[in-house]
A and B are shown apart, each in its own frame.
Chain A
Amino acid sequence: SQQGEEDPQALSIQEGENATMNCSYKTSINNLQWYRQNSGRGLVHLILIRSNEREKHSGRLRVTLDTSKKSSSLLITASRAADTASYFCATVRLSNDMRFGAGTRLTVKP
């Protein structure tokens, strides 16, 4: 069963706008990871945030984690057409028990 659920399922924005994707989960976690998948390709790791962290940044990416609400968000600032992809959150409860959500499909229009 999926642990994380992304919202929205699909998001379409103009280049230069910010994109926000949310992930909710049901049980306590050790960490949460975000991955990107371009069409027809494998997943690429973006950010790992641990349960004792609240926010992390990586370039144009900002991830927040609220363990009291069991939710995380991924913000992509100043989006580019190349950011068009599906984005997945993955929650890790125990070692090797990583569960992926169904993903958010982001389209950035040039």
Chain B
Amino acid sequence: NAGVTQTPKFRVLKTGQSMTLLCAQDMNHEYMYWYRQDPGMGLRLIHYSVGEGTTAKGEVPDGYNVSRLKKQNFLLGLESAAPSQTSVYFCASSYTTSGENEQFFGPGTRLTVL
């Protein structure tokens, strides 16, 4: 099992450009999450999904959109990138709600917006 994988690993964007980060999990998990991690801070939840076709806002959703068309995939989109979105992005998944189960994390995507 690959667990949770993220594509790409690194990306550099110019302000105003758009991009999509892809997260895939092969554990048949219902729940998937997108976080960002900034220096000196813990992870902050951007959006999450409790199942195929559903999405919900987390703590810092502004400037991001997500889609969960297939159970195994969770996409994070930046429509018009801003320097404030420079960060490391982590995807995670869990069998049920994070309130009951551990989350499994991908290796991260390091994004720089110039």
Q: Which residues of A contact B (CB under 8 A)?
A: 1-2, 4, 30-31, 33, 40-45, 48, 88, 90, 92, 94-103
**Interface-located stretch among B13-21, B37-45, B69-77, B78-86:** B37-45
A103 and B42 in contact, given A43-B90, A92-B98, A96-B50 (Cβ under 8 angstroms): yes
- Does B28 count as interface, using CB distance less than 8 angstroms? no
Contacts of A45 in B (CB 8 A): 102-104
Q: Which residues of B contact A (CB under 8 A)?
A: 4, 31, 33, 35, 40-45, 48, 50, 56, 59, 90, 92, 97-108
Q: What are 16 A-B contacts with C-beta separation under 8 Å? A: A2-B42, A40-B108, A41-B107, A42-B92, A42-B108, A45-B102, A45-B103, A88-B42, A88-B43, A90-B43, A95-B97, A96-B31, A96-B50, A99-B42, A99-B59, A102-B40
A43 and B50 in contact, given A4-B42, A96-B97, A96-B99 (Cβ under 8 angstroms): no
Contact B97 A100 (CB under 8 A): no
